[in-house]
Amino acid sequence: MADVQPESGPDGKALMDAWDYKGRPASRATTGGWACAAMTLGVELFERMTTLGIAVNLVPYMTGTMHLGNAAAANTVTNFIGASFMLCLLGGFVADTYLGRYLTIAIFTAVQATGVVILTISTAAPGLRPPACGAASPNCVRANKTQLGVLYLGLYLTALGTGGLKSSVSGFGSDQFDEAHDVERNKMLRFFNWFYFFVSIGALLAVTVLVYVQDNAGRRWGYGVCAAGILCGLAVFLLGTRKYRFRKLVGSPLTQVAAVTVAAWSKRALPLPSDPDMLYDVDDVAAAGSDAKGKQKLPHSKECRLLDHAAIVGGGESPATASKWALCTRTDVEEVKQVVRMLPIWATTIMFWTIHAQMTTFSVAQAEVMNRAIGGSGYLIPAGSLTVFLIGSILLTVPAYDRLVAPVAHRLTGNPHGLTPLQRVFVGLLLSVAGMAVAALIERHRQTTSELGVTITVFLLMPQFVLVGAGEAFTYMGQLAFFLRECPKGMKTMSTGLFLSTCAFGFFFSTLLVTIVHKVTGHGGRGGWLADNIDDGRLDYFYWLLAVISAINLVLFTFAARGYVYKEKRLADAGIELADEECVAAGH
């Protein structure tokens, strides 16, 4: 298919870099566009609704039905969400290197549907749940290995499907538009707005309608609706096959990182030339008549000199026949160095997502033992639905930043975009510290009143959800802008991978922290800080611990951010201008 050449340029009938389902040059008139891009929105809506709907209401199921402790239930949630994010890296690698985005979406959506079907069976079949607690059996029987095994199989198949789907669906939607065409480029920007809208709608449906169905009609109905919705979304997606535009595989940036590392290590004994211009680079590739893959030549930097060995042409080595695992261009090396420069920022943003994990775990456990009634009505808010305040805070913070914060920051700093990406991340991290401090104070107040026989209203949890939600808006916007802006042109898909990996490691670190705290503090008769009965524990201590760790992390982030030099400035100092598309990514 890659050998077929289009008949005309970007303003003609055939596209330069896209093909139809038969491998022919894609016609602008009959392929792609809004109709095709819209067919991906249903898949993403149900993916978001399913994943979040499972996560926010899983703690009550694990403790109330499967009879696990609070710590084990919280770790189940964080491991599930962490795996979903981490598997996005696998899905992206498979899509970029082997299957392409279309097949990746189709296959992994089917995998996700299979996982949700197994979850439905797990919650519906009596033999796959332990007997309910009652007066006759005050000691609840914990779920056995088979029951937990089926549940975990469903959860992690769902996570695998989510990872593969999430890694490709927005990219495939944008593939339906030609960036070189002004009209289609504007439509693509509108598509991203609608894509985020459908993600938000899916999240709202998850924490309201889906949680309500799970709690009142039964989880088998809630999960069954999700499975049916996913299959319907997949059917709609497949209906557009004949109209889609397909792009050629570009390879994964992870392969480039691995190739540079392997080549540098294998040549570590060779002496580096005194003049960096003697290193193999894209100019040499072009001079030899080979494809330089449109890479922009980058200036040499003095950091990570070990990696420079990858661009040494060894004695007797022919650049024309050398493998990419044996010889890389200096520009390839510099692109990997740029990723290395971002690692301190990457590492110090992980902690935010550890804080965020508490909103779907212990905050839900708090809500379960509080007064969830609305006014004098008999209606009880489902504990998992408290996450609606988190999502609402995110949705309100984004326009508030654009309309209020950004103009003020522009006048104060002179930055046309208000706050820089790293400044936005700083605000998000600061809000997360405040959120944990407030959560600790509210939890101590709840415990004190509970000892007096008073059950306080669940709406007192709103401040911690609002603060962390606002923090997510700032952190999310800042991280995405930073990684997209700073990732080298030839490794743009790496920006998504770096962002998603901070989410994954944040949730996994929550699992590690909960495990350590529960083991260290759980040697008394009361079960430690994270006791199965939340009134017997000291969850407020755990929140204070998170606040302290986050405050220390905020200091480390500040040092890393102050020492970071944006790529635009480094290239400008070397007399190199960003390519047009990179200027757009940087917000210029």
Q: Compute the distance between CA of residue 435 and CA of residue 457 in angstroms, rounded to an integer.
A: 18
**Please, which pLDDT band fits residue 406 given cuts at 50, 70 and 90?**
confident
Average pLDDT, the chain: 86
- What residues have CB less than 8 Å from 289, skipping those under 6 apart? none
Query: What's the start-to-end Cα distance of the chain, in Å?
Result: 36
Q: What is the pLDDT of residue 105?
A: 93
* Residue 154 clears pLDDT 90, i.e. is over it: yes
**Residue 510: which of 436, 428, 427 has the closest Cα?**
436
**Please, which pLDDT band fits residue 5 given cuts at 50, 70 and 90?**
very low
10 Å CB burial of residue 178 (0-12, 13-18, 19+) is buried
**Residue 1: which of 91, 93, 94, 102 has the closest Cα?**
102
* Residue 7 clears pLDDT 50, i.e. is over it: no
Q: In this predicted model, what pLDDT tens digit does every residue of 181-214 receive, in sequence order?
A: 778 777 776 787 788 788 888 888 898 889 989 8
Q: Compute the distance between CA of residue 54 and CA of residue 73 in angstroms, rounded to an integer.
A: 13
CATH superfamily of 330-570: MFS general substrate transporter like domains (1.20.1250.20)
Kindly write down the DSSP assignment for every residue of 499-521, as one continuous string. HHHHHHHHHHHHHHHHHHHHHHH
Q: In this predicted model, what pLDDT tens digit does every residue of 316-334 receive, in sequence order?
A: 777 877 888 999 889 889 9
% of the chain residues with pLDDT over 70: 91
- Decide which of 162 and 136 is more confident: 162
Its CATH class, for the domain covering 13-132+142-251, is mainly alpha
Q: What is the pLDDT of residue 524?
A: 56
Ranges in the chain annotated CATH 1.20.1250.20: 13-132+142-251, 330-570
Q: What is the pLDDT of residue 430?
A: 97
Q: In this predicted model, what pLDDT tens digit does every residue of 253-274 receive, in sequence order?
A: 888 899 999 999 999 999 999 8
Q: What is the pLDDT of residue 25?
A: 84
Amino acid identity at 556: L
* Residue 37 clears pLDDT 80, i.e. is over it: yes
pTM of the model: 0.86
**Residue 567: which of 407, 307, 281, 345 has the closest Cα?**
345
Q: What is the pLDDT of residue 588?
A: 37
The DSSP H or E segment spanning 18 is: strand 14-19
**Please, which pLDDT band fits residue 288 given cuts at 50, 70 and 90?**
low
Which range, 371-385, 488-502, 555-569, has the best average confidence (pLDDT)? 555-569
Provide mean pLDDT across the span 297-321: 85
Q: What is the pLDDT of residue 9?
A: 44
- In 3-state terms, what secondary structure has residue 261? helix
Q: In this predicted model, what pLDDT tens digit does every residue of 429-465 receive, in sequence order?
A: 999 999 999 999 999 999 999 999 899 999 999 999 9
Q: In this predicted model, what pLDDT tens digit does every residue of 478-511 receive, in sequence order?
A: 888 888 788 876 666 677 788 889 999 999 999 9
What's the gap between Cα 441 and its chain centre? 30
Q: Any idea which of 33-37, 134-138, 330-334, 354-358 has the lowest mean pLDDT? A: 134-138
Which DSSP category does 373 fall into?
B
